[in-house]
A = this chain, B = another copy of it.
Amino acid sequence: MKKIKIAIVGYGNLGKGVENAILHTPDMELAAVFTRRDPMSVKTRTGVAVYSMDAIESMKKDIDVVILCGGSANDLPWQTPMMAKHFCVIDSFDTHAKIPEHFAAVDASCRENGTLGIISIGWDPGLFSLNRLLGQAILPDGKDYTFWGKGVSQGHSDAIRRITGVKDARQYTIPVPEALEAVRGGETPDLSTREKHTRECFVVAEEGADLALIEKTIKEMPNYFADYDTTVHFISEEELRRDHAGIPHGGMVFRSGRTGANGENSHIIEYRLQLDSNPEFTSSVLVAYARAAYRLYNEGQIGCKTIFDIAPVYLHPESADELRKKLL
């Protein structure tokens, strides 16, 4: 069997996750890692070769799908359309509000160059989006709920780190148990931001810093914390390293809907993720959808796709016949 040849662009947590995930996918192999850093300075865990970004075009015949593992703020908006000039591409672009714009840019590049791209793959956007769509399609008379956590929010952790006197920080987003129980129990409450999630912050302060001021600054920070019940714990650098080194995350998507002549029957669909490592799980989703990108392209499809456009059969290594027999 010919293996699908994958290239990674960007060797951070996500890129490393893709490298590990490919070890569990017998139908794929990692061809190369590309970096904007000096390639000599990057050593991959599995020993796969590292190249400068500039070298990627010369390796066209060695690569089937490029998985872009950069950030949504500064990397993917230009990298994905650029790479789509030469390769089938897939990314985890997660700035929800800018997805239509990113889609248009990648779609234009793909169509101009006869390639296929898949954007915004992961769990949110990604699997959670898929479940929001399915829930609405199946139970049109109903309500959606998305809860995130318990998990580490990198954006909120970064926001705390920018405060004067803060050395390091970790922020957990936590669903409010009462809200979860109400939704899971079939109620369909209207929930404010504050009623859905709380925020818990573990902060390492610099020596002599004004702790009360740091706490106040966090709790009053607009958009990030002001609309939530926020708890702040000051801990030592050692405690942060020891107890908060992981990057867990997860959450739930609910669809709570009614059927029957008079809406007398209620139904609750819940999709729940509990993830030890947010980037490694996202990597695993990317790898499954990279398989779909390869297969769809080989069927002659081009242009930009999202998780909504991919039939599930393209994701699994086994044939449609086998899947009907074993999993249907």
- Copies of this chain in the oligomer: 2
Query: Are A265 and B277 touching (Cβ within 8 A)?
Result: yes
Given contacts A261-B20, A312-B133, A316-B133, contact A273 B284 (CB under 8 A): no
**A221 → B minimal CB distance (Å):** 27
- Please classify how large the interface on chain A is, using the bins under 10, 10 to 19, 20 to 34, 35 or more: 35 or more
**A300 → B minimal CB distance (Å):** 14
Query: Are B139 and A134 touching (Cβ within 8 A)?
Result: no
Query: Are B308 and A323 touching (Cβ within 8 A)?
Result: yes
0/1 interface trace, chain A 130-160, chain B, CB 8 Å (1 if under): 1011101111110000000000000000000
Given contacts A267-B275, A323-B133, contact A307 B288 (CB under 8 A): no
**Interfacial chain B residues near A21, Cβ < 8 Å:** 259
Contacting A25 at CB < 8 Å: which of B140, B307, B315?
B140
Closest chain B residue to A132, Cβ basis: B327
Query: Are A316 and B136 touching (Cβ within 8 A)?
Result: yes
Query: Are A186 and B274 touching (Cβ within 8 A)?
Result: yes
Query: Are A325 and B136 touching (Cβ within 8 A)?
Result: no
**A190 → B minimal CB distance (Å):** 19
Given contacts A100-B321, A325-B99, contact A269 B280 (CB under 8 A): no
Closest chain B residue to A130, Cβ basis: B312
**Interfacial chain B residues near A71, Cβ < 8 Å:** none
**Interfacial chain B residues near A265, Cβ < 8 Å:** 275-277, 280
Given contacts A99-B328, A273-B268, A327-B129, contact A288 B138 (CB under 8 A): yes
Closest chain B residue to A246, Cβ basis: B265
0/1 interface trace, chain A 299-315, chain B, CB 8 Å (1 if under): 00000001111111101
16 CB-based A-B contacts, threshold 8 Å: A20-B259, A24-B141, A127-B134, A129-B327, A129-B328, A133-B313, A133-B315, A138-B285, A140-B317, A267-B274, A268-B274, A270-B274, A271-B272, A272-B272, A308-B313, A308-B320
Known: A96-B328, A259-B281, A270-B274. 18 other contacts (CB 8 A): A24-B140, A100-B321, A125-B328, A136-B327, A137-B291, A137-B315, A137-B317, A138-B284, A138-B285, A186-B274, A259-B284, A260-B277, A265-B275, A267-B274, A267-B284, A270-B272, A308-B323, A308-B327
Q: List residues of A whose CB falls within 8 A of some B CB.
A: 17, 20-21, 24-25, 45, 96, 99-100, 103, 120, 125, 127, 129-130, 132-134, 136-141, 186, 257, 259-261, 264-277, 280-281, 283-285, 288, 291, 306-313, 315-317, 320-321, 323-325, 327-328
